[in-house]
Structure 1
Amino acid sequence: MNTNAITAKKSLVRVKEKIVMGLKVMDFIQHGTESSLEIVTPLGQRLNFKSNFIGFDEHQHIFFTMPLLSRAEYVEFFMEGFNVNIEGISEQGEGALVRFRTRIEHIIYKPINLLVFTVPQQAKLVLLRNETRYELQLQGNIQLSNRKLRVVLTNVSSGGCGYSYEAISPDFDIDQRIVLEVINSTNKNAYALSGIVRNGKKKLGKQTYGIVYDDPGQVNCRRLLSALMYDGTKYVFINPKQNHALAGL
């Protein structure tokens, strides 16, 4: 891998926890993802439920869907000013558990049900993965029984990778063996990332899966990483012309 990529790797500090401030917290929670919420009353009573993160605005508001609860629970726990602990999963980078405390600012029932919280001053990120995961957006293919499925390789690590595609079908089974082939359009080199499916989810018409490599998949992942460079936001294939031009400076 070139110098840019090596430098980017070394700059990733392996810490288990870190603090994120203000609106930056929202960058770590993907719209539409499910989070765990806990309302804490002034008397210390607690109510736990699931809700989907909708988004935020420039006025320091964050929005979540209203859960399906009993009328008694709404009366007892849904009061403006009550504290709320929120916990969600961030899929970025190494993956992290996002935890923060906020408070209920508005409870909206009409024209739609909506929970409005204030943006927290800070949040704690607890890293989940033991290996660095690198963000990508590379086109790939998975050979099915009757056709090739076009997918996007979204991230890679030394032990596995993630991919997604915008389609209702097909579905992949947990522990199903697949081969995700990525081809460098510049030199036509192919990288077969083989392994088994470990997890999957559907959201807004997009399917997302994660696989764990087998031995050949790990070898090809190392080959792939050696052909990539960091462009400031994600990893892309090294451009030989660009490297040649830089060498002449």
Structure 2
Amino acid sequence: MDVAEQKNLDSQQNLSNEDAVKESSSPTDKHEDFSSTTSETTSSICLGEDAFDKVMPLCDVACIVSTPTGKVLKCRTKYIGLHSKSILLLEMPMVSPQEKSIFMRQGYPLKACVISSKGEGARVYFKTKIEYVLSGGDTDLLLVTLPSATQVVVGLRESARLEINLDGFLEPSDKKYPCQVRDISHQGCLIVVDRDKVSYRIGSLISLNICSSNKDVPIVDETLQAMVKNISKIGRYYKYGVKFEEESLESVDSLIEGLNFCALQQRFTL
């Protein structure tokens, strides 16, 4: 990399650690189960396309939009995906019609922090500008320029999550609600369940059995106990991020040690 390219990266990145803390302290991530106090984080400069290649759709985004007159709007939204024309697609932030008309304008600068839930967890900090605002019925999209460089902070969790897709049952000794476990770590997992089946709150204690291909046979004999740490609603489903209780950690470790990575499916299987 020559000097000119390095200067361009530095000017595009230009988000101090203090700015990063301010932006990521919004309610967007206050319930995320990151154990940053006990894990080592590392920060690096990455090209925009490399950073967003590892960000899953519907990850949380904290934004700061500025007008030429110095007005500032802090808001939250969701990341949708990456367009082939070097454009990032975001959901329209939950703002009032007046705020939308004042701040959501083409060319206005935007600072943002995307929270990625993959692996050890990461925050992607970047500067960009609004390219388009697309409106269609009740759905609006915010299109912003793909940044040439980003600051990526990885290692937000104490242990990395492994991508899986296993069947399970919530409250197996009583209601036996069917669910799916989408990823897992030593500390917790992500549970997807039909909205008509259950409705937990932050702090709720749950019981979980994770099953093998034979859906009636649990992988581990013990019923796992966990606490709900974060909740998201997508279509017909609730997604619950849960943290395992201390008495279940040994059984969880036994389950994880039995997983094998499938290169074809690009996830861990039994």
SS in structure 1 of the partner of residue 249 of structure 2: helix
2:248 is aligned to 217
Give identity over the alignment, percent: 23
Contact 1:151 1:165 in 2 (8 A): yes
2:257 is aligned to 226
- Aligned amino acid, residue 152 of structure 2: L
C-alpha change, 1:83 and 1:184, in structure 2 (3 Å) is same
2:234 is aligned to 203
Distance apart, 1:33 and its partner CA: 4.3
SS in structure 1 of the partner of residue 231 of structure 2: strand
SS in structure 2 of the partner of residue 190 of structure 1: coil
Correspondence 1:121 to 2:148: yes
Correspondence 1:84 to 2:110: yes
- Counterparts of 2:121 and 2:197 in 1: how far apart (Å)? 26
2:219 to 160, 177, 190: 190
Distance apart, 1:106 and its partner CA: 2.2
- Aligned amino acid, residue 219 of structure 2: A
Residue-by-residue CA offset, 1:164-203 (whole Å, 9 max, x unaligned)? 12433311233333221123348x5632322222322212
- Counterparts of 2:213 and 2:105 in 1: how far apart (Å)? 57
**Structure 2: which 5+ runs fail to align?**
1-39
1:21 is aligned to 47
2:124 to 98, 103, 115: 98
For the pair shown, the structure with the greater C-alpha radius of gyration is: 1
Q: How large is the RMSD of aligned CA atoms in angstroms?
A: 2.9
C-alpha change, 1:78 and 1:174, in structure 2 (3 Å) is closer
1:243 is aligned to none
- Aligned amino acid, residue 121 of structure 1: S
Correspondence 1:158 to 2:186: yes
C-alpha change, 1:225 and 1:30, in structure 2 (3 Å) is closer
- Aligned amino acid, residue 181 of structure 1: N
Distance apart, 1:109 and its partner CA: 5.1
1:130 is aligned to 158
- Aligned amino acid, residue 151 of structure 2: K
Distance apart, 1:97 and its partner CA: 2.0
| Higher alpha-carbon deviation: 59-68 or 117-126 | 59-68
Contact 2:167 2:212 in 1 (8 A): no
Contact 2:79 2:114 in 1 (8 A): no
- Counterparts of 1:65 and 1:189 in 2: how far apart (Å)? 39
SS in structure 1 of the partner of residue 181 of structure 2: strand
- Counterparts of 1:33 and 1:205 in 2: how far apart (Å)? 18
| Higher alpha-carbon deviation: 101-110 or 135-144 | 101-110
Contact 1:100 1:123 in 2 (8 A): yes
Residue-by-residue CA offset, 1:72-116 (whole Å, 9 max, x unaligned)? 7734x4443222112222111112222211111223457764322
C-alpha change, 1:110 and 1:226, in structure 2 (3 Å) is closer
**Structure 1: which 5+ runs fail to align?**
1-13, 238-249
| Higher alpha-carbon deviation: 217-226 or 148-157 | 148-157
Contact 1:28 1:98 in 2 (8 A): no
- Aligned amino acid, residue 147 of structure 2: P
Distance apart, 1:28 and its partner CA: 4.0
SS in structure 1 of the partner of residue 247 of structure 2: helix
SS in structure 2 of the partner of residue 31 of structure 1: coil
- Aligned amino acid, residue 124 of structure 1: Q
- Counterparts of 1:46 and 1:171 in 2: how far apart (Å)? 36
2:66 to 28, 36, 40: 40
Give the alignment's TM-score, normalised by structure 1.
Answer: 0.75
C-alpha change, 1:106 and 1:173, in structure 2 (3 Å) is closer
- Counterparts of 1:185 and 1:51 in 2: how far apart (Å)? 37
